[in-house]
Amino acid sequence: MKQTVILTFFLIAALGLTSCRKDKIQLTIKQYDNQQIQSYIAAHGLTGMVRDTIGGDTTGIYYQVLNPGAQTINGQPVTPLDYPSLVAFVYTERTLDGTFVSSDTVTNHFYDYVGHISTTLPLGLRTAVHNLLKYPDASIRVLIPSHLAYGLNGAGSGSSQISNNRIPGNACMDFYVHAINNFQTYDDQVIKNYMATNNLTGYTAVTMQVPIPVGQQLNPIVYWNGKYSTPQVPYSATYYYKILTSATTNNPITDNSTITATYTGQLFNGTLEDYGYNGTNVFSGNIANDITAVRDALENHAVAGTKISILIPSPLGYGVPGYQSIPPFSCLRFTWQILTVTP
């Protein structure tokens, strides 16, 4: 009888433990991510979001195509993006809980092959761009699960408790992406928006042809001339200048002139680019190899004593690839003070 009671006790205890384990189900990371994304969609009323089912619905990505893009340009069909395609886009990103937000589309620029996106940005973004951002000028919003974003360790430096400093581990991400192909149109609008935001008036527009860089190969998605055409067809871009201080001298600047000057160069978010001469050190030399807009503005609109401000689109600056710390296809603001000109 005693043995029967003991056996019954252990059987009840075992059933109780089994019941506890069933009540406390461990979520997999994919289940956890999906739960976070579904809650985010509901909390923000994102009615346009659909799950990415391309390739068998294995990614857990949710998306909304805001603009499908141009499937034809000048009557010619555009080849959809693939992994070997070059793509240029601007983007914003944020964690679903809002502890990290990166919305500066002045610096959030990408230009490279689609297959290379995951070298600097999440694998899930590469998948989304490949599957959804198929044509020029397309724009998408994408919710990326953490296991396809920055993973267990997160990204960035500093404490995960400091807002906007670090992406915490297991954070699902909200990305907005807009593909750029016509830099002439895009940059000109960026410059006009910048002038309006900063109350910049009195600037004169100068439109000039943009030389095709030596060895530059164009791509059906990203191309220098802003048209679906061959690299031999030139295109134009517009920079803007304003004389801040007039001069009465009559010694024009040429490619062969030696000038002394101070200047500053900055991105449109105010970030100064360290050229070694930013407003303090005196530059001495010629401008024959300077960027196109600076060279044209100084040679045609400045002499010794002139102070000039120049707003520059990327094709007349450092181009689509960018340069060192300057992001791809960046518009720039330069201010030059010409001190002396020697023929």
Backbone phi, psi, residue 114, to 5°: -55, -40
pLDDT on residue 24: 55
Q: Are 164 and 100 in contact (CB under 8 A)?
A: yes
What's this model's pTM, rounded to 2 decimal places?
0.84
pLDDT on residue 40: 97
Q: Which residues face 236 on adjacent strands? A: 209
* Token pair of 144 as six digits: 């990326």
pLDDT on residue 59: 86
Same domain, 152 and 202: no
Same domain, 189 and 334: yes
Give the helix/strand (H/E) hosting 118.
Answer: none
Same domain, 171 and 229: no
Same domain, 204 and 115: no
Same domain, 202 and 338: yes
pLDDT on residue 164: 60
pLDDT on residue 25: 66
pLDDT on residue 275: 67
Q: Which residues, in sequence order, are CB contacts of 240 under 8 Å at separation 6+?
A: 191, 195, 203, 204, 205, 206, 310, 311
DSSP string, 62-93: EEEEEE---SEETTEEPPPP-TTSEEEEEEEE
Same domain, 189 and 171: no
Residue 202 lies in domain: 183-342
DSSP string, 174-230: EEEEEE---HHHHHHHHHHHHHHHTT----EEEEEEEPPPTTPPP-SSS-TTSSSS-
Longest dimension (CA), the chain: 119
**CATH classification of the domain holding 190:** 3.10.50.40
E-assigned strand segments in the chain: 50-51, 62-67, 72-73, 76-77, 86-95, 101-102, 109-113, 139-144, 155-156, 166-167, 173-179, 204-210, 235-245, 258-267, 283-285, 307-312, 332-342
Same domain, 155 and 192: no
Q: Give the C-alpha separation, 260 to 64, whole Å.
A: 53
Q: Point out the domain boundary residue: 179, 208, 239.
A: 179
Same domain, 254 and 212: yes
C-alpha 167 chain-centroid distance:
18
pLDDT on residue 27: 81
Positions in the chain whose pLDDT score sits under 70: 1-25, 55, 57, 157-164, 211-234, 274-276
Tell me the one-letter amino acid at 127.
Answer: T
Geometric angle at alpha carbon 201, from 196 and 206, rounded to 5°: 100
C-alpha 314 chain-centroid distance:
13
Q: Give the C-alpha separation, 5 to 299, whole Å.
A: 103
Same domain, 44 and 169: yes
Q: Give the C-alpha separation, 8 to 285, whole Å.
A: 96
pLDDT on residue 331: 96
